[in-house]
Amino acid sequence: MNKKSLVLVIIVECVLAILLISFFGKAIESLYEKTLCSDIYFVDEQGNRLENNAMIEVDISDTKTNYQLLYVIEPKAASEKKVEFSATPNEYVIIDKYGNVTFLKEYVDVAITIHTTDGSGKQATIRLSAI
């Protein structure tokens, strides 16, 4: 093989190496990028979005004192989907980490807020009225 052919092969290999490293290097980097929540909101049983501070009447009785909160985090590819719930006033309900609300008293209104924990600061609030 002459010197010109050898130099050409080396140049082609270098160009291919640079292209492969730049392409696959960026693909690998994107795997480690954190995708923050862009929106969070409550939905009804049919999956329809509820407006912030919407009121839901919850019919409770001696046999039924729970209500399951349903919510959506967008985008679906968000890196972290962990959320926290809080209630105001909090002495009338207990909320578990899955959004299951247990009413401790009838005829109370509480505001339930869901917070993302990914650092995006997204939150939504819904009002529950136990009747």
Token pair recorded at residue 112: 């339930």
Q: How many CB atoms lie within 10 A of CB 48?
A: 8
Query: In which element (H, E) is residue 27 found?
Result: helix 3-31
The residue extents of the domains of the chain are 1-33, 39-130
99: alpha, beta or left? (left if phi > 0; alpha if psi -120 to 50): left
Q: CATH for 39-130?
A: 2.60.40.1080
Q: pLDDT grade, residue 60 (50/70/90)?
A: confident
| pLDDT at residue 1 in the model | 62
Model confidence pLDDT, tens digit, residues 20-57: 777 766 555 555 678 889 999 999 989 999 999 999 99
| pLDDT at residue 38 in the model | 92
